[in-house]
Amino acid sequence: MFLSRQLARRAYLRAPRRWSHSPAAALSGLNAVTEEDLAHFSKILPSSAIISTLSPSATPSSELEPFNNDWMNKYHGKSTTVLKPRTTQEVSEIVKWCNQRRIGIVPQGGNTGLVGGSVPVRDELILSLANMSKIRSFDDVSGILVADAGCILQSLSDFLVPHNHIVPLDLGAKGRQHFNNSCQIGGNVSTNAGGLRLLRYGSLHGTVLGLEVVLPDGTILDQLTSLRKDNTGYDLKQLFIGAEGTLGVVTGVSILAAPAPQASNNVMLALPKFENVLPLFKETKRQLSEILSAFEFMDRTVYDLAVKHGQGRALDPADVEGAECFVLVETSGGKREHDEEKLNSLLESLMEADEPLINTGVLATSPAQFSALWAIREGLTEAVSKEGKAYKYDISVPLHKFKEVVDKTREQLRQKGLLHDDAVRHVVGYGHVGDGNLHLNVVAAAYTPEIEAALEPFVYELVASYKGSISAEHGIGVMKTHALQYSKSPTSIEWMKRIKALFDPNGIMNPGKVLP
């Protein structure tokens, strides 16, 4: 009844796309880096930690391209200088000088974001955290890990393996081959990254225990506590989680690692209709309870694109027939026999029900097959990119509205005469049912003003009508500053601006990002 297949990963490319909304106003009053500034930075950092097209370095501009362009080649800056400090004190001295000179700073981690938050809008200084990659401490009793902000997420995961712990965050960006850069823990915190297992481990607002932050005037705010409980006034660290570097530079992170599961399994299920997703989720939570770690949804079209573009095939074509969507369920627990018994019991009850919620499914029976099923879900972005130019909307809406959002967006494009092979080829949806996060992707033949005008503000207004969020996990960056009003009230935006002005009165920290 249940089949298992080996699947394959493929590398992929993304086509360039420029900003549509100019954030240049936020850079008014800021200065470019000069040779005098470079001379000062050379007193703080060795020459190997300075990359600049200015004299005396005179580095070819091509060497700055990985820093000036994001990994998708979608956002493009014109910075002349990249600094790569190794210590918090060096960061402090650099930021203090930039504040005095009113030089804009873009803190940059792995540069794996999707909204342009980690590349310059114009010619701001890029402050790369890549050289700050030390693990400061780990307590295998409490599970508390303290690390530099530049530690790559995959490296932290690898470090924790012999200690039988895991980082409570799992992203496609952590180590997949098609990323030239890999995400860093400081960037994860600064964007409040969500990931595939938020259902099990919660958000970084809960798992981050403390932060070390260099404020815009160079002051070092040391809240790098390793305490699980600290009820002494304002929890300032929360301001920096998700602030995208606009309030300061995160240089150190204290995070609660989770015990590593001793047994993991997954199953891909084919559903006859979307209306079965929520009853299935409810029943899965009831039966699997504490071992449920992920519940991922993908519609039929995006699954077909994954098959078409080499992400693998979970089910035989005959088994896929009649399926409107698919769900990937993962379990993680402490005893394999116990977990397999619960999972098998769930699958039997689903297949033997008088009105089955599923048509069929494929259950992983080996580590390779476990990875193969995840490869389909993690490869959806790649498949969409191979199919065409993707307009991506990372939104939070009520679970029962997932399909409605996709259908209404498709109908909007049809009414505008844009739903054909030479314009919009597909409108697809996939995402994290466990936390209400839908990835709405509009796949086009090319990026055009007509398509963008049809999508925006339509999608944002649609999300607002459901009292949803225009950014569930990717952040605001430069891409969505104009759309913040659809998720935040005027009062909320005003107080966000006041907080920004309090911390950063000169406006040097990641200018043009987050705030309209």
Parts of the chain belonging to CATH 3.30.70.2740: 388-474
Q: Are 292 and 374 in contact (CB under 8 A)?
A: no
pLDDT at 172: 60
> What does CATH list as the number for 388-474?
3.30.70.2740
The reported pTM is 0.89
Coil, helix or strand at residue 421: coil
Rounded CA-CA distance 256/166 in Å is 9
Q: Is the dihedral of CA 237, 392, 157, 199 positive or negative?
A: positive
Rounded CA-CA distance 244/237 in Å is 13
Rounded CA-CA distance 303/300 in Å is 5
Cross-strand partners of 333 = 263
Rounded CA-CA distance 512/516 in Å is 8
Give the pLDDT confidence of 367-421 residue by residue, as tens digits.
Answer: 999 989 999 998 898 899 899 999 999 999 999 999 999 999 999 999 999 999 9
Q: Where are the alpha helices (DSSP H) in 379-457?
A: 380-387, 402-415, 449-455
Architecture of domain 2-131: 2-Layer Sandwich (3.30)
Report the candidate in 385, 377, 402, 237 with the shortest Cα–Cα distance to residue 314: 377
pLDDT at 327: 97
Low-confidence ranges of the chain (pLDDT < 70): 1-22, 172-181
Rounded CA-CA distance 78/84 in Å is 17
Residues in the chain: 516
Give the pLDDT confidence of 181-207 residue by residue, as tens digits.
Answer: 489 999 999 999 988 888 889 999 999
Residue 7 burial by Cβ neighbours in a 10 Å radius (0-12, 13-18, 19+): buried
322-356 burial code (b ≥16 CB/10 A, e <16):
ebbbbbbbbbbbeeeeebeebbeebbeebeeeeee
Parts of the chain belonging to CATH 3.30.70.2190: 263-377
Q: Are 360 and 278 in contact (CB under 8 A)?
A: no
pLDDT at 3: 37
Tell me the residue type at 80.
T
Tally DSSP H helices, then E strands, for the chain. 18, 18
pLDDT at 310: 86
| Phi, psi angles (nearest 5°) of residue 251 | -115, -20
DSSP assignment of 223-284 equals: E----S---SS--THHHHTTSTTSS-EEEEEEEEPEEPPSEEEEEEEEES-GGGHHHHHHHH
pLDDT at 474: 87
Is the domain 263-377 a CATH 3.40.630.30 member?
Answer: no
> What does CATH list as the number for 135-259?
3.30.465.10
Parts of the chain belonging to CATH 3.30.43.10: 2-131
**In 78-124, beta strands by DSSP E:** 81-83, 105-108
CA dihedral 170, 175, 181, 183 (to 10 degrees): 20
Cα end-to-end distance, the chain, whole Å:
54
